[in-house]
């Protein structure tokens, strides 16, 4: 029996317009009434995920920054963390500067940028967070960095990803969270590892865990969970890893997954 459901946010639980469908809200209410743990698992920073959680009145621990940090929103306590060393983060910043790519970094749940432009504005609207501008990342970074994000056209980022130095794959977990977001976290970071932590935190078995997602960054948790589900708009690689595929995020795929696994109807 499933006792914990982990779901990605953007393009999974949330529709393309960043709202939650009426049917998905009914599915969330069903989980609450049956004491099923609902874990929000996102590449977003903790403050952004917390806002969504409070809107949904869901106060279980949450997986943030692709699994780099797990927080309890009731007391803002960090339960789990895995971050990039300062010197490694600077290496990524140098690469972005050399390539002329827009870059964001996160330290202690604060979003930092060097320049304010249309990309900054887009990300601000997406996450509902305020950027903090600094003059020079290379001088500023002196603590572990949670996440480094490259923001550019997909083809450009894809080509860059293919020619990254070989040692990068030994230091960083590198993946697309959206076609235009190439994200770098510590090599040991994944939603799957964070979900494993929470499964053990709640003293559950993998067979009692269900995970739902749409992107390649969700594959690790789909593969870890006893039941892994892909929404209809998911990448082909995620669909291949999932136990089954449901409707798209705009067609309440999350709710359909809950209906199927718990044998209910909303």
Q: Is 8 a catalytic residue?
A: yes
Domains in the chain, CATH or no CATH each: 4-81+189-262 (3.40.50.1000), 86-186 (3.30.1240.10)
Query: 8, 10, 11, 214: which one is catalytic?
Result: 8
Query: What are the b/e assignments for 230-249, b being 16+ CB within 10 Å?
Result: bbebbbeebbebbbebbbbb
Tokens found for residue 100? 């002329």
- Cα gap 188→209, rounded to integer Å: 21
pLDDT tens digits for 157-178? Answer: 999 999 999 999 999 999 887 8
Let me know how long the chain is. 266
pLDDT tens digits for 114-161? Answer: 999 999 999 888 888 899 999 999 999 999 999 999 999 999 999 999
Report the predicted TM-score, pTM, of the whole model to 2 decimal places. 0.84
Write the CA distances from 44 to 8, 139, 189, 231, integer angstroms.
Answer: 10, 25, 14, 19
């Amino acid at each position: 029996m499933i006792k914990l459901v982990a779901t990605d946010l953007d393009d999974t639980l949330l529709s393309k317009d960043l709202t939650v469908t009426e049917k998905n809200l009914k599915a969330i209410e069903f989980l609450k009434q049956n004491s099923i743990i609902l874990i929000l698992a996102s590449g977003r920073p903790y403050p952004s995920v917390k806002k969504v959680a409070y809107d949904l009145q869901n106060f279980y621990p949450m997986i943030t920054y692709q699994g780099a940090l797990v927080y309890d929103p009731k007391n803002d306590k960090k339960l789990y963390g895995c971050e990039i060393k300062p010197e490694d983060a600077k290496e990524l910043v140098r690469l972005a500067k050399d390539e002329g790519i827009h870059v964001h970094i996160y330290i202690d749940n604060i979003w930092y940028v060097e320049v304010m432009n249309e990309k900054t504005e887009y990300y601000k609207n997406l996450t509902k967070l305020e950027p903090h501008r600094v003059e020079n990342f290379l001088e500023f970074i002196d603590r572990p960095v949670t996440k480094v994000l490259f923001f550019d056209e997909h083809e450009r980022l894809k080509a860059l990803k293919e020619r990254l130095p070989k040692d990068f794959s030994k230091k960083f977990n590198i993946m697309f969270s959206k076609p235009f977001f190439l994200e770098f976290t510590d090599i040991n970071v994944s939603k799957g590892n964070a979900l494993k932590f929470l499964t053990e935190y709640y003293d559950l078995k993998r067979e009692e865990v269900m995970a739902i997602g749409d992107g390649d960054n969700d594959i690790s948790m789909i593969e870890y969970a006893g039941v892994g589900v892909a929404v209809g708009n998911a990448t082909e690689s995620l669909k291949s890893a999932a136990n089954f595929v449901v409707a798209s995020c705009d067609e309440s795929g999350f709710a359909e997954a809950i209906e199927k696994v718990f044998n209910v109807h909303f």
